[in-house]
Amino acid sequence: MQRLEAAKVVAGFSIDRVEDAVPLAKALLAGGISVVELTLRTEAGMAAIKKISEGVPDMLLGVGTILTPDQARQVKADGADFGVSPGLNRNVIRAAQAAGLPFAPGIVTPSELEAALECGCRFVKFFPAEAAGGIPYLRSISAPYAHLGVKFFPLGGLNAKNMVNYLLEKNVPAIGGSWIVKPDLVALKAWDQITARAAEVCQIAAAT
């Protein structure tokens, strides 16, 4: 949590080619982004975890789109530092906890938040943030649980223009977004451009 609060911004991305994993992570790190969420949405995703874990040890490696207990166990074994999911699955939460993987389930309703709390989660992914109603909605659903110290990790629809508003919320230690890593730049291996985009985002975050 301390690393997330210090970083403020988490770059989310999928990997199509395993060989791009380390150069991409290094490009983001060079721009100041020290936390990523690598999503398991491609066949290369699982193999990319080990590559980044071993090749870029200074990066706090989060893995997203964890949908099954087996995935939770495997990403921990492959070197993931934390995991997140788009929704709340109690079996996945239990598997992550048993494996020692810090885990943030996805929530978007008070009922889902209470289910997460029941499972012992005090750090949750607020997804899809903007589509659900953005900051006004987050304030509404979080208010009854503020005394429990719940922290929210918003993703979905965030960008360079609205990220600051989320970071100003006391219960938001960090935000995540996929706009930083453009797939076409990865395809072109334009690592310098990705570094520049990361630096711009970090500069915006530093103002909060």
Q: Is the pLDDT of residue 162 over 90?
A: yes
Q: Is the pLDDT of residue 208 over 90?
A: no
Mean pLDDT of the chain: 97
Band the pLDDT of 56: cuts 50, 70, 90. Answer: very high
CA neighbor of 103 nearest in space, from 156, 23, 14, 37 = 37
CA neighbor of 173 nearest in space, from 158, 151, 144, 157 = 151
Q: How does pLDDT run across 62-112, given as a tens digit for each residue?
A: 999 999 999 999 999 999 999 999 999 999 999 999 999 999 999 999 999
Here the tokens at position 147 are 């005394």
Q: Is the pLDDT of residue 207 over 90?
A: no
Q: Is the pLDDT of residue 41 over 90?
A: yes
| SS3 label, residue 82 | strand
Q: How does pLDDT run across 121-144, given as a tens digit for each residue?
A: 999 999 999 999 999 999 999 999
- Residue 201 is predicted with a pLDDT of 97
Assess contact for 54 and 66: CB atoms under 8 A.
Answer: no
CATH match for 2-104+158-206 among 3.20.20.70, 3.30.2310.20, 3.10.105.10, 3.90.1170.40: 3.20.20.70
Is 151 catalytic? The answer is no
Rg of the chain on CA atoms, in Å: 16
Is 37 catalytic? The answer is yes
The active-site residue out of 37, 51, 76, 151 is: 37
Predicted TM-score (pTM) of the model is: 0.96
The active-site residue out of 26, 76, 125, 151 is: 125
